[in-house]
Amino acid sequence: MRCLVLKSLQVLGTEGDEWVRHRSIARKSFGDRNNALVWSETVRILDDWFAPWDAAAEPTTTDVTDDLRHITLSIIASAGFGLKFRRENQGEPARGFTMSFGEALFTAIESMFLRIAAPRFLYALPIPALRRCDRAYSELERYIRQMTTEAREKVEGGEAADLFRRLVEANEAEGEASARLTDDELISNIYVYFLAGHETSAHALTFALALLALHPEVQEKLHEEAARVWPVLDGAEWRSSTISDF
């Protein structure tokens, strides 16, 4: 299986020695430090996301799946790649781009099956959906290539690394050139991290919330655990909590 962005091999689509090569780079990027970073960014992003609801004078309704897709994207983008999205703003297009990174990523994910099914010659036709799909994939590739270059410069400069920069650092640290991933392979793996972490997490959480609504006795147990960790839920306490509190 090859990545839909660049058609390069990545960790989910390889076997044998090739899979070992991809995995050896990927596994060095994860650990306790990354888990702590994910936790702190999750707390920050959820605080920002819930603020309008807390301040609302009247009850509000929301599309849970859509909200969670934006939340998980923001968490992965921030903890993994140093990109700060806000609730009302998923970012502006960078210079030379027509889409923001968030828009390009969302569009690429939403049009994934169109990308698979449509033969390349159709993209020459004036079909808006195909044109938008092609532009999203093209700009997403450019964004990630640019991020790869910037991450490599920061690694060489000795700056603190997020998940993405640790991935680049782990790749650069490989002794033999044959063991390293090419830029195309790095980009393909990054796309898989976004797709696997963002969409699947959002849908898993959507079903979890629906099941909690259907089973109030389980919801009560969850509430009791939260009350044990945060006896006074005034906002400041849980914002300063760490994953070790659990």
Per-residue pLDDT band at 99 (split at 50, 70, 90): very high
Same domain, 117 and 238: no
pLDDT of 219 > 90? The answer is yes
What range does the domain containing 220 cover? 215-246
At 3 the pLDDT is 46
At 190 the pLDDT is 78
DSSP assignment of 120-186: GGGGGS--HHHHHHHHHHHHHHHHHHHHHHHHHHHHHTT----HHHHHHHHHHH-SSGGGSPPHHHH
Same domain, 87 and 37: yes
Same domain, 86 and 202: yes
Q: What is the average pLDDT across 155-184?
A: 71
Same domain, 39 and 125: yes
Is the distance from CB of 152 to CB of 172 less than 8 angstroms? yes
Q: What is the average pLDDT across 66-90?
A: 78
Q: What is the average pLDDT across 68-97?
A: 78
Same domain, 180 and 234: no
Instruction: Tell me if 201 is assigned to some domain.
Output: yes
Same domain, 169 and 139: yes
pTM of the predicted structure, to 2 decimals: 0.73
Same domain, 232 and 202: no
Q: How many domains does the chain have?
A: 2
Q: CA gyration radius for the chain?
A: 20
pLDDT of 159 > 80? The answer is no
Question: What CATH number corresponds to the domain at position 34?
Answer: 1.10.630.10
Same domain, 234 and 180: no
37-49 pLDDT tens trace: 888 888 888 888 8
Q: What is the average pLDDT across 28-45?
A: 79
Percent of the chain with pLDDT over 70: 80
Same domain, 114 and 229: no
Per-residue pLDDT band at 2 (split at 50, 70, 90): very low
Within 10 A of 153 (CB to CB), how many other CB atoms are there? 12
Instruction: Tell me if 6 is assigned to some domain.
Output: no
